[in-house]
Amino acid sequence: MLAALMDGRALPAGELAYAAGITAQTASSHLSKLLAGGLLLCESEGRHRYYRLAGPNVAHALEHLAAISRPVRHKPLSRQGRDLHMARCCYDHLAGQLGVAVTAALVERHFLEPVAQKRYGVTPAGVTWFGTIGVAVAGLAPTRRGIARQCLDWTERTHHLAGPLGVGLMAALCESEWLRRSKTSRLVHVTPKGWAKLKEQLGLDEQSVSGDDAVRA
């Protein structure tokens, strides 16, 4: 249920029960405990109640817990499962194979550089590049962890870009129609324009990002 809320949406108990494969009664019991533990917030709209993560800190904790969990043998992924591995929201920034590949490309091109305390520094060239896609780095309000932090991706076991810069990047790519967020899940779709621009700007195509030779770029 917590994973279903990682894209920042608020969902009713029924949808969360369905996502977890449990009964509504069981879900209600778990939701009460999650509320009491400070992991969730509940919003009321008329007779309906909607649940959301209590904040980005909860999303960050979930990503880290998933990354250190014991590996398990999974059934072959469904098409939706493969798509979620390719590109998804991590609360409010880009994750999955695409999020990791974009971050690696930004580091390779010296637009970002890893620094202490799991942060990224933005180089002068990076400030210019982010500006060309609509992200004004100087205008970003830093958190206590700066404007760009390293978030451990739970499926890829390496880092993607998070923090205010990660949020700004995700918003800019959606605004420019490189990416399109699903309205019903954490899934992020790359548009044809997006693949063309990712190839042009960062040298990324669908085959190189997925690592699947069977995928056509």
Three-state SS for 10-31 is CEEHHHHHHHHCCCHHHHHHHH
**Is 66 within a domain?**
no
Is the pLDDT reported for residue 214 higher than 60?
no
Mean pLDDT within 36-47 = 87
Residue type, 138: A
Rg (CA), the chain: 18
pTM: 0.72
pLDDT digits (tens, 9 = 90+) for 101-126: 999 999 999 999 999 888 999 999 99
Residue type, 69: S
Determine which of 56-65, 125-134, 157-166 has the lowest per-residue pLDDT on average. 56-65
Find the domain containing 13 and state its range.
Answer: 3-54
Residues 6+ apart with CB under 8 A from 113: 107, 120, 121, 123
Looking at residue 212, its pLDDT comes to 62
In the DSSP assignment, the letter for residue 139 is G
Determine which of 41-45, 145-149, 160-164 has the lowest per-residue pLDDT on average. 41-45
Looking at residue 99, its pLDDT comes to 96
21: domain CATH number is 1.10.10.10
Residues 37, 117: one domain? Answer: no
**Is 84 within a domain?**
yes
